[in-house]
Amino acid sequence: MQTKTSERLFQAAGGLLPGGVSSPVRAFGAVGGTPRFLVRGRGSRVWDADGNEYVDYVGSWGPMILGHAHPEVVRAVQETAAEGLGFGAPHPLEVELARAVQGFYPALERLRFVSSGTEATMSALRVARGFTGRELVLKFKGNYHGHADGLLVEAGSGALTLGQPSSAGVPEGYARLTIVGRYNDADALEDVFREHGERIAAVIFEPVVGNAGVIPPSTGFLKALRQLTREYGALLIADEVMTGFRVAPGGATERYGLEPDLITLGKILGGGLPAAAYGGRAEVMAQVAPEGPVYQAGTLSGNPLAMAAGLATLRVLKREPAIYERLEDYGLRLAEGLADELQRAGVAHTINRVGSMLTVFFTEGPVTGFEDAQRTDTAAFRRFFHALLEGGVYWPPSAFEAAFVSAAHKADDLERTLSAVRTAFA
């Protein structure tokens, strides 16, 4: 496989962009080697600057549920662009997309469009603090909610210790307004509320963890989340930036019967362009300016191109509900095929899957929390990743990320993938 063009581009980028990339995971730091500069996508396949073709399981990190360059999405963007790229004023497509989103998420009585998942989660927490008049936020170890200062926090030395910064540039005082709990641990959650409950404005969580690898929620944990937040008067925020419209038409909210106060959405919502949203109960969202005192704004929020791409994507999903059956079926066959090859090769593994999201952990035993995920053999994953890459399969370049299936993946993609897997394990 030729990589000279990608190597040349990466070397040039290193003198212009920090680490040569615009987002850290793209640099292949966790797996080594030269990142591929992708220049074209069609359906389930992508091509790099050297002309190499890959079966793609990154899907722009989740948005491409219909596959790359879906004709209806491309046409919607082209037609909208011909009328203007943006106005900084209300646009009819904002109204249409908001109505479409409510069709999938009836709990979103009111919503506000923004341009990224980070903006959505950051804003939702600000609204929660404004609504409750409280300062503390509870998040869970291994859950990622974007790069806002208050969310780049890791657990302190004890289960009930307030957070410590996990990134340079985050003030320790601000980090201490975030409590870091243990995902899927209802008892620990109850301890946190017993200690800090009267000061907690909101609990934010990934209904299905995707950034520690895929980790499904337990029924008891979800029940405790809703019960304790209601008991103590805190808001419950479901971060569905990744799971929204993916694990079910109505995301994890539908799949697990959740009743959050606020929901954050992104990725699929923008159909491949930068768009996200936060919303929920009308009385809570009434706090947002200009209606209420919680300020939040964005020059490109509701950009017509992103609205057009998102609306076209949701229209296809609404029109073709069988897409979710195909996603479930392909995800299952991929997981079973991987498991068969791993068992045949005698490689320790755990595969977690929720619908069209899955992760291969190179460790034995169940993976139900961040501590379990950390046991994965990262050296084995690096070898696995590069063997797949050489075999024409573009897998997420991190042991702690979800792989995504799209509606464009077909039987020949699965065959090519499992062939590359067999070579990898050999």
- Does 328 score more than 80 pLDDT? yes
Return the pLDDT at 158. Answer: 45
Per-residue pLDDT of 85-129, as tens digits, reads 999 999 999 999 999 999 999 999 999 999 999 999 999 999 999
pLDDT-derived band at 156, boundaries 50, 70, 90 = low
CATH node for 4-69+321-425: 3.90.1150.10
Per-residue tokens: 343:
């068992």
Residue closest to 260 by CA, chosen among 268, 250, 270: 250
The residue annotated as part of the active site, out of 48, 56, 185, 239, is 239
pLDDT-derived band at 154, boundaries 50, 70, 90 = confident
Mean pLDDT of 65-81: 98
Annotation says 174 is catalytic: no
Give me the residue spans of the domains in the chain: 4-69+321-425, 71-319
Contacts of residue 419, Cβ cutoff 8 Å, sequence gap at least 6: 391
- Does 198 score more than 80 pLDDT? yes
pTM summary value = 0.96
Annotation says 50 is catalytic: no
Q: State how far the Cα of 128 lies from the Cα of 236, in Å rounded to an integer.
A: 9
Q: State how far the Cα of 253 lies from the Cα of 263, in Å rounded to an integer.
A: 9
Return the pLDDT at 51. Answer: 98
Q: Is the peptide bond before 171 cis (omega within 30 degrees of 0)?
A: no
Q: Are 115 and 276 in contact (CB under 8 A)?
A: yes
Task: Work out whether the CA dihedral 325, 350, 31, 425 comes out positive or negative.
Answer: negative
Q: Do domains 4-69+321-425 and 71-319 have the same CATH topology?
A: no
Return the pLDDT at 160. Answer: 43
List the alpha helices (DSSP H) in 256-374.
282-285, 304-319, 322-345, 370-373
Element (H, E) at 176: none
Return the pLDDT at 165. Answer: 87
Q: State how far the Cα of 184 lies from the Cα of 256, in Å rounded to an integer.
A: 14
Residue closest to 395 by CA, chosen among 7, 10, 14, 31: 31
User: 71-319 sits in which CATH class?
Assistant: alpha beta
The residue annotated as part of the active site, out of 144, 183, 330, 394, is 144
Q: Are 336 and 126 in contact (CB under 8 A)?
A: no
- Does 151 score more than 80 pLDDT? yes
Per-residue tokens: 44:
């389930």
Per-residue pLDDT of 366-381, as tens digits, reads 999 999 999 999 999 9
Per-residue tokens: 287:
């706090």
- Does 159 score more than 70 pLDDT? no
DSSP, collapsed to helix, strand or coil, labels residue 40 as strand
The residue annotated as part of the active site, out of 267, 324, 330, 413, is 267
